[in-house]
Structure 1
Amino acid sequence: MKHYEANFDGLVGPTHNYAGLSYGNVASLSNARSVSSPRSAAKQGLKKMKALHDMGLVQGVLAPQERPDVYALRRLGFQGTDAQVLSTAYKASPAIFQAVCSASSMWTANAATVSASADTADGRVHFTPANLTNKFHRSLEPEVTGRILQAMFKNPDYFQHHTHLPDNEHFGDEGAANHTRFCQDYGLEGVEMFVYGRYAFDGSKPAPKKYPARQTREASEAVARLHGLTDASTVFVQQNPEVIEQGVFHNDVIAVGNQNVLFYHQEAFLNTEAKLAELEQKLQVPMHFIEVPTEQVSVAEAVKTYMFNTQLVTLENGRMVIIAPTECEESAIVRSYFEELVSKDTPIKEVRYFDVKQSMRNGGGPACLRLRVAMNDAELGAVNQACIMSDALFERLNSWVDSHYRDELSTADLADPQLLVESREALDELTQILQLGSVYPFQR
């Protein structure tokens, strides 16, 4: 039986915009209020998905959220027709309005935490949508995310879905951006590394003071319990509070792992040596720990280029490849490091650069754009096949984007009631293309 690690990338939605909502995310804040290009952003994302499909990897598509979220505005007391709700909120509460227009669901690394069937007590793949409580604009996502995931991974014989954790900062959960699975082979039992920024119930433990630590230890432990993971198959590692203060809002901004490789910055974790020894001891497979020294690449340069917010994938020939944003190639420091890395005796043999600038300007690189799901043949066969990338789906989605997306979008455009109509028409057609059923509130 073959085993795979599938990547499900978030499809950029028709209201893609730069709102600068994410305090602690340097790239997001620095591009706030810029004019965006939803069509270009969607096509950049699709191009990357198709490229990974052409590399022989299993590539899927995850549908976006509906934005603006008129339902959230109604819950907050804005009344009248959809057009009236949008107009009143835009004028009276611009900050709230910007939040309910967020395009952040494109970063599906935050959509959920996924555990492989080889690791779980019941032998099924487990999904828990992230509650994303640290940011209001992202806390609106988990319910619809859960419905989309259930429409994609339907068969209860293979897939188990959980409700997101309680909507409280004590259980702040940011999904797979703080979770990495290590294994010798995707089908063999692995060790799942949960990375957290703080303890919620113990203020005496280390924590950042300026920027928020979005993932709590307690949330990570809760997800592990829900997924039926054992102590032997889990490692809990704390982020270095000092790197959070430098804009490392998720672990996937400072580290990336795949199979028996962990590629990470020297300053990424607390108690690094002990935790990596625990990981290797539990996995019982020799690990390749590739540490990038601060003197070679600073944290600031790593954050600016998203050097670690890359995908580390294994091709069918066994070669590992880093999928990096072109910002890494444009940095002499990072490009030089990568050139040196691929010449060394490690499983990483190649770096391929992709233009995902529309995502990068909003604060997310290649790793943010995908949710990883390890599966065997039977599990992959049970996935909603309409969501798996193919030549035909690539062409159809590009045509769909051309039919429904605007070339440019400004902040003021988000209050245009016609944009909401256009967006709903687009998403309604998308659910038919991907055979998702009625996952959006306007369809229910």
Structure 2
Amino acid sequence: MKQFEANFDGLVGPTHNYAGLSFGNVASLNNAAQKSNPKAAAKQGLKKAKALADLGMVQGMLAPQERPDIYTLRRIGFCGSDAQVLEQAYKQAPALLNACCSASSMWTANAATISPSADTADGKLHFTPANLVDKLHRSIEPETTGNILKAIFNNEQYFSHHQHLPEHASFGDEGAANHTRLCQAYGDKGLELFVYGQHATNPDAIKPKRFPARQTLEASQAVARLHGLDESTTVFMQQNPDVIDQGVFHNDVISVGNQNVLFYHEQAFLNTESAFDEIRRKLDGDIHFVKVPTAQVGILDAVKSYLFNTQIITLPSGEMAIVAPTDCQENPAVHAYLQELVTLGTPIKEVKYFDVKQSMQNGGGPACLRLRVAMNEQELAAVNQGALLTDELFTSLNAWVEKHYRDELSNADLADPQLLIESRTALDELTQIMKLGSVYRFQK
């Protein structure tokens, strides 16, 4: 039976804007209050997704969330008509309005943690939406994320969906941004690597001093239990708190894996060698640990270019390639390293560059834009086919973006009642294009 790793990219939403909401995310903070271009952002993401589909990869799309989130604004005390709610929030609590207008669901690496059927006790593919409790603008996503995932992976014979973890700091869960799966082939039983920032219930444990550690060990362990993972095929590693304090807010900003390759910065983890020894013991077959030395690429350059927020993909030829933002090409140290990397004899043989600057400026690179789902051909056939990217869907989505999205958006525009109408109209049409049913509250 054929095996695949599908990438489901997040469609950039109509309210894509730069509000600087993510404390600890240097790029997000540095570009706060700039005007954004939602139309360009959505088309950049679609172009990247289509390029991977054209390479022979299985490529899907995930719908954005409804924004502005009027329901949350009402829940925290703003009232009246939708227009009045937006006006009150803009005048009285603009930061809360910004949070309820964030299009951050585009970064689907944070949407959920996925465990393939080859790894789980019941032989099903498991999904747990991330609760994202560390950031207000992201903590309002999990319910709709779950609805969208259930609409796409909607066959109970193959797919098992869990509720997001309890909404408490001890269970801070940021999804696949802190999880990677190592294996020899996608259909083999793999090793699931969970990377956490702190041990929340141990007050004496090492943790960052400046920026928050968003992923907890407790959350990672809970997801592993929910997914029926075996102790022999799971490893829990702690991220280096010093790099979190330098702007490495998720593990996928400092390391990325694919099959039997783990590409990482030498400062990425605590207790690196002991954890790597555990991986070697638990993973059948060869493993390639590809270390990027600080002497060649410093943490600042890694964060600025998002060298590790790249995708490593296995091409139909069997060779691996890195999908990198053009920011890596423009950074002298990073570009020099990548040119050398493809000559080092690792499975990574090629680098492909894509312009995703609208996403990069808000703190997310190519790997943030995708959720990885390893599956076999029966499971792929059970997926809602309306979410899989074909030439026809690509054309339809580009036309949809052209019809509904603005070319420019400022923070002041978020209070415009017309933007809410435009967003709801667009999303209602999108659910028909992608055959999602009623996944949004305004459709109920």
Using structure 2 for the length normalisation, give the TM-score.
1.00
Distance in 2 between residues matched to 1:401 and 1:136, nearest whole Å:
27
Shift of 1:286: 1.2
- Return the letter of the residue paired with 1:47: K
Deviations 1:249-273 (A, max 9, x none): 0000000000000000000000000
Deviations 1:208-246 (A, max 9, x none): 011000000000000000000010110000000000000
Q: Which runs of 5+ in 1 are unaligned?
A: none
- Return the letter of the residue paired with 1:255: S
Counterpart residue number, 1:142: 142
Shift of 1:13: 0.5
Distance in 1 between residues matched to 2:271 and 2:36, nearest whole Å:
41
- Return the letter of the residue paired with 2:278: E
Deviations 1:178-228 (A, max 9, x none): 000010000010000000000110011110011000000000000000000
Counterpart residue number, 2:361: 361
Counterpart residue number, 2:4: 4
Q: Does 1:389 align with 2:352?
A: no
The secondary structure found in structure 2 opposite 1:373 is strand
Distance in 2 between residues matched to 1:207 and 1:352, nearest whole Å:
35
Deviations 1:143-178 (A, max 9, x none): 000000000000000000000000000000000000
Counterpart residue number, 1:301: 301
Shift of 1:315: 0.5
Q: Does 1:44 align with 2:41?
A: no
The secondary structure found in structure 1 opposite 2:358 is helix
Counterpart residue number, 2:408: 408
Deviations 1:82-140 (A, max 9, x none): 00000000100011111101111100000000000000000000000000000011000
- Return the letter of the residue paired with 1:65: Q
Shift of 1:321: 0.3
- Return the letter of the residue paired with 1:349: K
Distance in 1 between residues matched to 2:374 and 2:31, nearest whole Å:
34
The secondary structure found in structure 2 opposite 1:208 is coil
Deviations 1:303-351 (A, max 9, x none): 0000000000000110100000000000111111011110111100000
- Return the letter of the residue paired with 1:389: L
Q: Does 1:190 align with 2:217?
A: no
- Return the letter of the residue paired with 1:400: W
- Aligned-residue identity in percent: 68
- Return the letter of the residue paired with 2:338: F
Equivalent runs, 1:25-424 vs 2, <5 Å: 25-424=25-424
Shift of 1:280: 1.7
- Return the letter of the residue paired with 1:145: T
- Return the letter of the residue paired with 1:356: V
- Return the letter of the residue paired with 1:385: Q
Q: Which moved more, 1:171-180 or 1:97-106?
A: 97-106
Deviations 1:47-97 (A, max 9, x none): 001000000000000000111100000000100000000000010001111
Distance in 1 between residues matched to 2:439 and 2:50, nearest whole Å:
25
- Return the letter of the residue paired with 2:421: V
Distance in 2 between residues matched to 1:165 and 1:15, nearest whole Å:
27
Distance in 2 between residues matched to 1:369 and 1:259, nearest whole Å:
19
Distance in 2 between residues matched to 1:21 and 1:207, nearest whole Å:
22
The secondary structure found in structure 2 opposite 1:329 is helix
Distance in 2 between residues matched to 1:400 and 1:23, nearest whole Å:
33
Deviations 1:274-327 (A, max 9, x none): 101111210121110000111111001000000000000000110100000000
Counterpart residue number, 1:425: 425
Distance in 1 between residues matched to 2:32 and 2:141, nearest whole Å:
21
Counterpart residue number, 2:437: 437
- Return the letter of the residue paired with 2:85: V
Distance in 1 between residues matched to 2:200 and 2:141, nearest whole Å:
22
Q: Which runs of 5+ in 2 are unaligned?
A: none
The secondary structure found in structure 2 opposite 1:4 is strand
The secondary structure found in structure 2 opposite 1:180 is strand
Shift of 1:365: 0.1
- Return the letter of the residue paired with 2:100: V
Distance in 2 between residues matched to 1:95 and 1:18, nearest whole Å:
12
Distance in 2 between residues matched to 1:280 and 1:128, nearest whole Å:
27
- Return the letter of the residue paired with 1:87: E
- Return the letter of the residue paired with 2:84: Q
- Return the letter of the residue paired with 2:106: M
The secondary structure found in structure 1 opposite 2:409 is coil
The secondary structure found in structure 1 opposite 2:219 is helix
The secondary structure found in structure 1 opposite 2:19 is coil
The secondary structure found in structure 1 opposite 2:32 is coil
Using structure 1 for the length normalisation, give the TM-score.
1.00
Shift of 1:390: 0.5
Distance in 2 between residues matched to 1:172 and 1:240, nearest whole Å:
17
Distance in 2 between residues matched to 1:243 and 1:288, nearest whole Å:
23
Distance in 2 between residues matched to 1:414 and 1:205, nearest whole Å:
41
Distance in 2 between residues matched to 1:98 and 1:400, nearest whole Å:
25
The secondary structure found in structure 2 opposite 1:195 is strand
Distance in 2 between residues matched to 1:378 and 1:256, nearest whole Å:
27
Q: Does 1:17 align with 2:17?
A: yes
Distance in 2 between residues matched to 1:35 and 1:63, nearest whole Å:
23
Distance in 1 between residues matched to 2:383 and 2:430, nearest whole Å:
17
The secondary structure found in structure 2 opposite 1:281 is helix
Aligned residues: 444
- Return the letter of the residue paired with 1:175: G
